[in-house]
Amino acid sequence: MSGPVQIKRESLSTLRATRRTMSSARWLMIMKKRSLEERREAALKRMAVEQMILTLGNENLTGISAKLKENETELNEARAALIKAREKLNYVKAMLGAVSRMLVVLSQVIKAPVGL
């Protein structure tokens, strides 16, 4: 895994651990005993952590989504090649069917009494 991706993933993991600590029963019970201003500040920090988790998660998904998009041309080409190969097979099948039908007509013509 490349450096920046790894750093983002590790940061995300640290932020998630912080979120859990700041939302734990122990933390919330400690906060209850603090002043209104301290509680407000803690709540704002908890939300800042939450939004950072969402932002980093989005960045990680954006990075991978861009790489998937880069692959779309080749994926489409691969699909088209498989469809073409299948079509060739169907073409041979259709040709054989047509020859078979032609032979039916031909055998009826040959079997038909002369003079008709």
Residue in the structure block whose two tokens are 């209850």? 32
Task: Note whether 41 and 99 are within 8 A (CB).
Answer: no
Within 29-48, the residues that bind other proteins by CB under 8 A are 29, 36, 39-40, 42-44, 46-47
DSSP assignment letter at 24: S
> 2, 20, 91, 112: which one contacts other proteins (CB under 8 A)?
20
Burial (0-12, 13-18, 19+ Cβ within 10 Å), 50: middle
CA distance 113 to 111: 6
Within 76-115, the residues that bind other proteins by CB under 8 A are 76-79, 81-83, 85-86, 88-89, 92-93, 96-97, 99-100, 103-104, 106-107, 110
Other CB atoms within a 10 A radius of the CB of residue 111 amount to 7
**Contacts with other proteins: how many residues (CB under 8 A)?**
60
- The two tokens of residue 5 are 């991706």
Query: Which residues make up the interface to other proteins (CB under 8 A)?
Result: 9, 12-13, 16, 19-20, 23-26, 28-29, 36, 39-40, 42-44, 46-47, 50-51, 54-55, 57-58, 60-62, 64-65, 67-69, 71-72, 74-79, 81-83, 85-86, 88-89, 92-93, 96-97, 99-100, 103-104, 106-107, 110
